[in-house]
A = this chain, B = another copy of it.
Amino acid sequence: MATPSISRRLAEAAVTLFDENGYEETTVDDIAARAGVSRSTFFRYYRSKEDAIFPDHDALLAQVDARLRASTSDTALVAVSDAVRIVLAHYVENAEVSLRRYSLVRRVPALRDREIASVARYQRLFREFIGKWLAGTPDADLRAELMAASVVAAHNQVLRGWLRAGGAYDPLGPLDRALGYVIAAFRHLERPEDGGDGQVLVATFSSSATPEAVMDAIRAQLGPAVTRKPR
């Protein structure tokens, strides 16, 4: 078989050694030695020791950003749901790595803080996107902040549940349910006087679907639902 890339060898060595000997007890020299490269090379691939645990993080953030940018105001909620789904799906697709990393992050404070800082970067993306979406409406900044925080919290809640369960089920359904909660909560903020039936339809698609296709589909599904609405 082909030799894995140095980057992968380093990440693999890091996780293994952290598992076996603990995070603080493992030096960068150890990691490099196990990967068969020099210390210099380690720092060429990862900016820091912590970085070796979160290798695919920047790419995921870029995916979320791309998904949000590829949407108009009309499809904002769909874009948000989709973006969150992308993140969770990434964890699910790399379940073993996610689970190992989770058990590690849970008991190493430095890694926990690092993880939290990463989550904040996602939240920032969502906040800016939602802020632009709501721009001009009352309390746009506040609502963007609240909604972004809630969306991220919903994701984390579902993700943690899935991780604690050892990845034993498909968390995408629970995620949609949780996002439905969020959207329902904030829908009432948009029209506080509307004591009526705030029907919410959350439709999620694969990330490869074009915004137009998403909109068409939403319109197609929502139309009958709305017309059936009483009142």
Does A97 have its Cβ within 8 Å of any Cβ on chain B? no
Known A148-B153, A199-B199, A200-B199; judge A188-B181 contact (CB<8 A). Answer: no
Copies of this chain, whole number: 2
Does A66 have its Cβ within 8 Å of any Cβ on chain B? no
Does A156 have its Cβ within 8 Å of any Cβ on chain B? yes
CA distance in complex: A218, B141 (Å):
30
Query: Nearest CB to that of A201 among chain B residues?
Result: B201
- Chain B residues near A99: list those with CB within 8 A: none
Query: Nearest CB to that of A182 among chain B residues?
Result: B146
Interface pick from A5-13, A35-43, A51-59, A206-214: A206-214
- Chain B residues near A153: list those with CB within 8 A: 145-146, 148-150
Query: Nearest CB to that of A144 among chain B residues?
Result: B157
Name A176's contact: one of B156, B199, B202, B231 (CB within 8 Å): B202
- Chain B residues near A181: list those with CB within 8 A: 139, 142-143, 146, 189, 200
Q: Is the CB of B189 within 8 A of A184?
A: yes
CA distance in complex: A202, B221 (Å):
12
Does A197 have its Cβ within 8 Å of any Cβ on chain B? yes
Q: Chain A 198-231, CB within 8 Å of chain B: the 1/0 string?
A: 1111111111110101110111111111101111
Does A163 have its Cβ within 8 Å of any Cβ on chain B? no
- Chain B residues near A228: list those with CB within 8 A: 222-223, 226
Binding site for B on A (CB under 8 A): 112-114, 116-117, 120, 139, 141-143, 145-146, 148-150, 152-154, 156-157, 161, 172-173, 176-186, 188-189, 192, 194-209, 211, 213-215, 217-226, 228-231
